[in-house]
Every structure is written in structure tokens, then in C-alpha cells.
Amino acid sequence: MQISGMNMILRWIVTEQDHGRRAVDVLCERTGMSRLLAKRVRLYGLLTVNDKFHRMIDPVQAGDIMIATYTTDAEMPFGERCAPSHDIDILFEDDWFLVANKPPHLLTHPSYTGEVESLITYLSKYNLHPVSRLDRQTSGLIVLAKNGHAHYVIGKEKMLKHYLALSFGSWSPSPSSSTPPSWDGTIDLPIGRLPGSIVERMVTESGKRAVTHYKIEKQWSCKKGTVSRLLIQLETGRTHQIRLHCLATGHPLVGESLYGWDKLSTKQQENIRPLAEHLSPLIDRQALHATRLGLHHPISGEHLEFNAPPPEDFVKIETHLDALCQIPSDVKD
């Protein structure tokens, strides 16, 4: 069968369990194909069974070899690879998806305001599908699918997402019944859109449930104040979730501007201000980094995990805090 130029190719051998079932039902249940994609294959693509044209509604037999193909001009052809331009590190790539380490100060995808420079436009001239998204100023691991099928399958499952964050103040363990083993606590506060804003969100009872687990990895305390390094695991993935949850608990992120320490009460601001102003020249974004990512491959089902250490600006803050907190308190300026 000629498949050159085709974009997405799904191959499946029918088992005894599916003998006599409709081809479309087998594809959707066994390969994870969405009903929308099945419709596109029917209208614009091709389904063959044992190298012969086959209608999606017709039955298949045990042992049949099914091949569904579908293409769009905007999606990346099989065999095409992304260009690791602008020093963007690609940790994994095949015909279905890639995992990249996004630097800070870069959009994941073009913005609604017309800004086109972004991670996906840097990596490819074709249409990439962000399965997970990171804020412009957040660095770290992100998944980009190469076609609609991979996007749909990966997006259906719950991915493992760990972040490193530097926040102001001293955290204490606060476990609950929903806190996973080995984690120190859980923040369970609903998040919704801030009225009148396209970008901003807020903690509100009318919002959607948002759950963040945290582990206290290190704390720096000096005369100017305290900074804590947290390992964070997301159970839900609301917009600005970590940033909002840290602010809501009185521990805004270092470098944060949208949900920063100036949004706290006057008394809380007084406690944070000296260290916040001292550290502000060292980082021009929120100190948040997606450090670990786990998912299942959309075709093989293999479990894959990836790790990315924090970037230079994040490390610079920690190095500075190590030095600052070793100086006797009576000589700190």
C-alpha cells in the first residue's frame, strides 16, 4: 500500500475478541482514536483492511490488518523532525510527539494578540499541538503532539507533573486525607476567572476544584526573611494554579509579578518586603520550573519519564541564598 505523504498512520491487528465488530468501533476502542478523527478518516483519509479499501462501518475479522491514514497540510509528516533552534533542548521525539525543555520568557504558542514568536513556531513550520502548557515565564518540560490523534490520546490520561518553586516564607507540613504518601501537604482551593480579565484568575468558591500537593525540600532563613524551595505535584491543571495557591496561602513565588507579594495584606508585605526587594535584581520572572514529567506513549503504551534541572536564573537565586544565610545575622545588610 502506498502511504507516502500521509501524515498519521495507525495500524492494528484484529483479535478474536473483536471478530465481527465494526471497524470504527475497533479503532476507537483499541487505538484510542477519537470519534472526530474517525469521521475525518472516513471523509478525508483512508482505511484499508488487508491492503484493500474498507468502510468504517463494515465488520472486520480476527487477524485482519487494519491501517487508517489521515493527513492535513498543516500537520507534520511522518519522519519529519523538529529543529532544535534557539537553544531549545528536545529530550524526546518520534513520529507522534516530542518533549522539550522550554526556556523562560517564551510563549508556548502564539498569543491571541498576534505575537507569533513561541516554542511551537521556533521548533517547526508545521502545526504542533501543546498537550500541556506553561506560562510564558515558567520554564521546564512540556509535551507537544505532532498530530490530532496523539494529542487526543495523551490528553485523555493524567500525566505526572512535578514542579520546583521558590516561595517566600516558612512552610509547615499540613497533610490531609488527600495528601499522597511522602508529601508534606495539600492545597485544595477552587480557581476561576477574575471578572473583567482575560488573563488573570482568582481563588473563588465559584471556580473549579484545584488541588496542589507539596513537599518542603529546603528553607533559607536570614534577617531579611525566609525562602522555601518546594517540590510540587499537580493533581489538577488549572490556569496559574501553583502561583495562585502559593499566594492564597501567604507564600507568593519569588519573582512573581501578577500574583506577587504586593497582593498580600500590609502586615504580610512588611515581613516579605526586605528579602523580596533584595532578590528582585536576580530574577525577572516567577521562580517556577517544570522539572519532571511522566506519561504513556500514545501508541505503544510504554511509560516514559523525563527530568530537567532548573535553569541558570533559578540556580542563581539558590546560590545567593546559600551565601546570604551563612553570614552572621548582625552583619547582613
Helices (H), ranges, the chain: 23-31, 35-44, 119-123, 148-156, 241-248, 266-279, 312-324
- Active-site annotation holder among 18, 64, 95, 135: 135
Together in a domain, 91 and 168: no
Residue-wise pLDDT for 174-214, tens only, equals 999 899 999 999 999 999 989 988 889 999 999 999 999 99
**Mean pLDDT across the chain:** 88
Together in a domain, 201 and 318: yes
| Residue 333: inside a domain | no
- Is 135 assigned a catalytic role? yes
Three-class DSSP category at 251? coil
Copy the grid coordinates of residue 309.
534541572
| Residue 35: inside a domain | yes
Together in a domain, 266 and 239: yes
Residue-wise pLDDT for 238-268, tens only, equals 999 999 999 999 999 999 999 999 999 999 9
Together in a domain, 45 and 88: no
pLDDT at residue 117, rounded to an integer: 86
Confidence of residue 128 (pLDDT cuts 50, 70, 90): confident
Residues 168 and 258: their CA atoms lie apart, in Å, by 15
Please give the DSSP secondary-structure letter assigned to residue 144: E
pLDDT at residue 241, rounded to an integer: 97
Residue-wise pLDDT for 287-312, tens only, equals 999 999 999 999 889 999 999 999 99
Helices (H), ranges, 143-257: 148-156, 241-248
Beta-bridge mates of residue 52: 49
Together in a domain, 322 and 186: yes
What's the predicted TM-score (pTM) here?
0.80
Count of domains observed in the chain: 3
Residue ending a domain, among 70, 87, 118, is: 70
Q: Residue 59 — φ and ψ, nearest 5°?
A: -75, 160
Q: Which residues of 247-278 are buried (b: 16+ CB within 10 A; e: fewer)?
A: bbbbbbbbbbebbbbeebeeebeebbbebbeb
Residue ending a domain, among 156, 173, 201, is: 156
Domain hosting residue 52, numbered range: 8-70
Together in a domain, 193 and 285: yes
Beta-bridge mates of residue 211: 188
Together in a domain, 206 and 289: yes
